[in-house]
Amino acid sequence: MPEPIQIHPKAPVSATAGALRVVLLYAGFSGLWILLSDRAVEAVVHDPAVMTLVSISKGWVFVAATSAMLFVMVKRLVGAVASREAKLQTLLHAIPDLVWLKGPDGVYLGCNHAFERFFGATEAEILGKTDYDFVTREQADCFRQKDREAMDAGATRKNEEWITLAETGRQVLLETLKTPMYGADGALIGVLGIGRDVTEHHRILAEQAQLQAQLQQAQKMELVGRFASGMAHDYNNMLGVILANADLALYQMPLDRPERKHLEEIMRAARHSAELTRQLLAFARQQPVNPSLVDLNEAVSAMHGLLGRLVGPEIQLVWAPGPDLGKIRMDPTQLDQILTNLVANARDAIAGAGHIEVATSNQTLTASDCAALLDVVPGDHVCLSITDSGCGMAPDLVARMFEPFFTTKPSGKGTGLGLALVHGVVKQNHGAIQVDSEPGRGTQFQIFFPRV
């Protein structure tokens, strides 16, 4: 256990030494004055009356001389103490961290200017009061409990506390060190607290963790894409053989043979598998097929009828085009894939009646906006958002929603490639996708494409 911190542990020794120097100097001067002055008077003055008068004058001279000497010495001592105190106060108030000292009963004995911002009061207004005079009872109880833990342990205790600065109303995270303070006699003086604002550091660590997770997700998607590309090509070749042989057998078989229905089932299954292969290849593709300038308002308006039929009569499809929308560069067929996949997922998330809103807008992303989006450059973007009133998703599902073959739908209702395809297309076109979803509150997809 670390040594208890004492307030000026050498102060009593220094004070005794200083007092002893003054006493010895005074005694030496007094003895020397008496000895020499008496001898001088005896040698010069022989008249008793005159000797009495000289002795009285000598006494007054002694008083004046010793008073002047004591004045100089005490002034030097007090000046040294005042100078040391001024330096200590200057250092204390120049520290950007919050510093305060409480007594064992929780009464404030001192603080610096940084701490004054916490309570929104001056040091003179804080001294003699407790936490209960400035903050809520719940928070004051918490502070008091941390003080007791440090005093009971007799050692420094470290903890983090969220506080609200009364001066600005800003909420900050403090990393607090609380240390019991002891006097030279070993008696407990109180608790010294030092609080450092680590809000920005905490935010940076959170952003680093988020970026690390995004990087790992991107690396995983890249590996899966490479694997899917190779597998899809091989699978597509085998499907070609299956379709060709099944088609040839069906062509040569008479119409009245009952086996035809089995071959037709093989053909349907093979074509469905070919569609899955096409999605895998689209997911694994590294470059857009045929990019061109696209107006999102025109593209969505052209697909509005198809999307309306896709969602069905019970779900209201709302189209909210943004004004003066900029253009983007991408393959129009890929935009169709994004719209149909996201709208179909929104439809499946709604049980019964509901609504889906498709909207566009111009957005200018700042550096802080791009901190949460991987591989996005600050600047002008065009945003495509799709919002539904469906069941929403928990955070653990949101984290996995873009993984290939991951789906929450029942068996046979989904392949788990739709959102993976959307994610791949968005990244191929240098865009970013952001998802906001909560269980019971629906889901919103926001896709940002660089504005041309």
Q: What is the mean pLDDT of residues 114-139?
A: 89
Element holding 388 (H helix, E strand)? strand 379-388
Structure confidence at residue 286 (pLDDT): 44
Report yes or no: 420 and 403 within 8 Å, Cβ to Cβ.
yes
Residues 102, 23 share a domain: no
Enumerate the β-bridge partners of residue 101.
Answer: 110, 192
Q: What is the pLDDT of residue 280?
A: 63
Q: Please check the confidence at residue 227 and state whether its pLDDT lies above 70.
A: no
Residue 232's alpha-carbon distances to 71, 155, 224, 279, 424, in angstroms, are 99, 65, 12, 9, 16
Q: Which residues does residue 436 pair with via DSSP β-bridges, in sequence order?
A: 444
Let me know whether 18 and 79 are in one domain.
Answer: yes
103 assigned to some structural domain: yes
Radius of gyration of the chain (CA): 42
In a domain, 442, yes or no: yes
The CATH number given to whatever domain includes residue 152 is 3.30.450.20
CB count within 10 Å of CB 175 equals 17
Asked if the model's pLDDT at residue 321 lies above 90, the reply is yes
Are 158 and 120 in the same domain?
yes
Q: Looking at residue 410, which CATH number applies to its domain?
A: 3.30.565.10
Count of domains for the chain: 3
State yes or no: pLDDT of 10 exceeds 60.
no
Q: Is position 160 within any domain?
A: yes
In a domain, 235, yes or no: no
- Asked if residue 339 lies in contact with residue 279, where contact means CB atoms within 8 angstroms, the answer is no
**How far is the C-alpha of 304 from the C-alpha of 25, rounded, in Å?**
104
Residue 5 has a CB neighbour count (10 Å cut-off) of: 14
Task: Say how far apart CA 86 and CA 138 lie, in whole Å.
Answer: 37
Inter-axis angle of helices 332-349 and 296-311, nearest 10: 40
* pLDDT score of 7: 44
Question: Are both 294 and 409 inside the same structural domain?
Answer: yes
Domain boundary among 197, 216, 250: 197
Instruction: State the pLDDT confidence band at 129, using cuts at 50, 70 and 90.
Output: very high
Do 302 and 426 share a structural domain? yes
What would the mean pLDDT of 24-49 be, rounded to a whole number? Answer: 73
Residue 361: predicted pLDDT: 94
Residues 78, 13: one domain? yes
293 domain residue, yes or no: yes
What does the pLDDT look like over 340-363, one tens digit per residue? 889 988 998 888 889 999 999 999
Please write the tens of the pLDDT for every residue from 60-85: 777 787 778 778 777 777 777 667 77
Same domain, 68 and 170: no
Residue 131 DSSP one-character state = G
Asked which of 61, 90, 119 is the last residue of a domain, the reply is: 90
| Phi, psi (degrees; rounded to nearest 5) at 156 | -65, 135
The string of DSSP codes covering 168-211 is T--EEEEEEEEEEEE-TTS-EEEEEEEEEE-HHHHHHHHHHHHH
Q: Are residues 86 and 102 in the same domain?
A: no
pLDDT of 383 strictly over 60: yes
Show the domain range for 180.
Answer: 98-197
pLDDT for 209 beyond 60: yes
The mean per-residue pLDDT over the stretch 274-282 comes to 66
Is the Cβ–Cβ distance between 109 and 128 less than 8 Å?
no
Instruction: Please name the helix (run of DSSP H) or strand (run of DSSP E) that holds residue 386, with its range, or none.
Output: strand 379-388
Residues 16, 86, single domain; the answer is yes
Give the pLDDT band (50/70/90) at residue 3: very low
118 and 77 in a single domain? The answer is: no
The reported pLDDT for the residue numbered 4 is: 41
pLDDT at 295: 93
Q: Quickly count: other Cβ atoms within 10 Å of residue 210's Cβ.
A: 13
In a domain, 334, yes or no: yes
Provide the pLDDT for residue 1.
38
pLDDT tens for 298-311 read 999 988 888 888 88
What pLDDT does residue 276 have?
Answer: 65
Predicted confidence band of residue 325 (pLDDT cuts 50, 70, 90): very high
171 in the same domain as 83? no
Which among 303, 289, 295 is positioned nearest to 341, based on CA atoms? 303
157 and 37 in a common domain = no
Predicted TM-score (pTM) of the model is: 0.47
